[in-house]
Amino acid sequence: MARDGLKDQVCGHFGRAPTFTIVDVETDEVEIIDNSAEHFGGMRKTPALIKEAGADAVLCSGVGPLAIHMFEDLGIHVFVGASGSVDSAIQAFKSGSLQEATDENACDRHRRR
C-alpha cells in the first residue's frame, strides 16, 4: 500500500481510508498511520484512532453525522470539502476554504433513517 503522505489523495470515504496523514501545521512534521479502526478489522472507532495520534482537527472530503459527533466529543474539529492531495487539503484549510462539519453538511449516505 502506498504511503505518500502529503502526496496521498484525500479519500472519498473517510472511515475507509487505508492510512491517515497526521500533519503538524506549525512544524510541518508528517506522520502516516495505518487505519486500524473497525472498517479494517480493528476494535476502535476511527475518531479514537485519530485522537490517539494527537490530532485536533480532521480535513476530509465528507463524513457522516455520527462521526462528526464522536470527533466533537473528543475535542477534534472536522472540516469538509477537502479534495486532491493531502497537501492541497492543508492549503485549503489554511486559506479558510473548508467548512467546519455540521449536521447540515454531513454526508447523507450515513444518516440513519
pLDDT tens figures, 25-59: 889 899 999 999 877 777 788 999 999 999 999 99
* Residue 14, domain member (yes or no): yes
pLDDT at 57: 96
Mean pLDDT for 99-111 is 76
pLDDT at 69: 93
**How many of the other CB atoms lie within 10 Å of CB of 35?**
20
Q: Alpha-carbon distance 11 to 82, whole Å?
A: 9
* Residue 44, domain member (yes or no): no
Query: Is a pLDDT exceeding 90 seen at residue 98?
Result: yes
Tally the domains of the chain: 1
CATH of the domain at 69: 3.30.420.130
Tally the C-alpha atoms within 13 A of residue 90's C-alpha that lie toward its C-beta: 17
| Residue 60, domain extent | 1-20+56-106
- What are the distances in angstroms from CA 110 to CA 39, 57, 59, 106, 113? 14, 21, 18, 8, 9
What do you get for the CA distance between the two ends of the chain, in Å? 35
pLDDT at 113: 44
The residue that leads in pLDDT, 20 or 106, is: 20
Q: Which three cell numbers stand for residue 11?
A: 479519500
Predicted TM-score (pTM) of the model is 0.87
